[in-house]
Amino acid sequence: MQRYEDGWWLTTDGLKLHYRDYTGGADGRPPILCIPGLTRNARDFEGVAERLSPEWRVICVDLRGRGESPQSPDSASYSPPAYVLDIGALYVALGLSRTVLLGTSLGGLIAMAMALTTPERLAGVLLNDIGPVIAADGLARIKGYVGKSASWPTWLHAARGIAEAERDVFPRYQIEDWLRVAKRRCRLTSAGRVVFDYDMRIGEPIREAPEDAPAPDLWPAFSALRGRPIALLRGSRSDLLSQAAADEMAHRLTSLELTIVPEVGHAPSLEEPEAVGAIDRLLARVRGN
């Protein structure tokens, strides 16, 4: 049985974006807003949302060009400033005042940007394997795969293809785990092929950035999270968030709780026991505020 309702909201540039709404949390708890990584979609949070609702209302978004949200006519809008505006429009459309934001990778960058512009909207934040310092190896890996299409004849073929490429990220996964991954990341075309469920153009702004361009200083955005409960997850095998960067984040923000998810790369699924515990402790802190 489907445990969520589909919803849509309009962006400032006229796109009608999609979200899943797992209703619940009638006792006044702030909703949980889940924002996925670069090539992911609302389905990435199925396990989290099903576990936490109906005690909490959980809203999982498809960013522009992903999942059931339409592609942008301008690939330049596949950028954090546009995503932040889109999420702001969601708050207005749904009448949200404050949320607990769970941000995986890109979703965490959006959370940090929001802390600079609309900090009052954040009751608490979970940063899933992301921080103000992005490791060069991880960034190079992302540039290498984003926007490269693939096609498989069956879900099993898709699962095996993804497993071949990412076995070092989730070394403990079995075929049933990879099938779940495939069904969250991919869609079935009208021709019966399985393909990744995002606009291949989302990688254009990343690839077109000058190689010698200095990395933006994201520490001010991270520091703007101060004053609220913060949780940070790091996959022990992550190539995007180094242990040194995670330790520095915990040093700079005393309200941050760092949790290492063992034998996982970028990024934890949020269904690992360590991640489940971190989320539950974050929510308990939010309720205690």
Q: What is the DSSP letter of 80?
A: H
CA dihedral 7, 11, 17, 23 (to 10 degrees): -30
Which of 144, 85, 125, 96 has its CA nearest to residue 256? 125
The first and second tokens of residue 152, run together, are 């498989």
Q: Cα-atom radius of gyration of the chain, to the nearest Å?
A: 18
pLDDT value of position 210: 75
Query: Which position has the token pair 């978004």?
Result: 61
* Neighbour tally for 103: CB within 10 Å: 23
Residues 6+ apart with CB under 8 A from 133: 218, 241, 242, 245, 248
Enter the tokens of residue 250: 């915990």
Mapping DSSP to helix (H, G, I), strand (E, B) and coil, where does residue 232 land? strand
Per-residue pLDDT of the chain (289 residues; tens, 9 = 90+): 788 999 999 999 999 999 999 998 767 899 999 999 999 999 999 999 999 998 999 999 999 999 999 999 999 999 999 999 999 999 999 999 999 999 999 999 999 999 999 999 999 999 999 999 999 999 889 888 898 999 999 999 999 999 999 999 999 999 999 999 999 999 999 999 999 999 999 999 887 777 777 888 999 999 999 999 999 999 999 999 999 999 999 999 999 999 999 999 999 999 999 999 999 999 999 998 7
H/E stretch holding 258: strand 256-261
H helices present in 15-134, as ranges: 46-52, 80-94, 106-117
Q: Which stretch of DSSP H or E encloses residue 6?
A: strand 5-10
Class of domain 5-144+204-288: alpha beta
Q: Which of 108, 140, 62 is nearest to 233 (CA)?
A: 108
Query: Could you say which DSSP state residue 179 is in?
Result: H
State residue 68's pLDDT score: 98
pLDDT of residue 54: 86
Q: Which residue has the tokens 């400033």?
A: 81
Domain boundaries, the chain: 5-144+204-288
For helices 175-185 and 155-166, what crossing angle results, to 10°?
100
**The predicted structure's pLDDT at residue 34:** 98
User: Residue 267: is the preceding peptide bond cis (ω within 30°)?
Assistant: yes
Sign, Cα dihedral of 148, 84, 211, 166? negative
Question: In angstroms, rounded to a whole number, what is the distance separating the alpha carbons of residues 48 and 63?
Answer: 18
CB 107 within 8 A of CB 128: yes
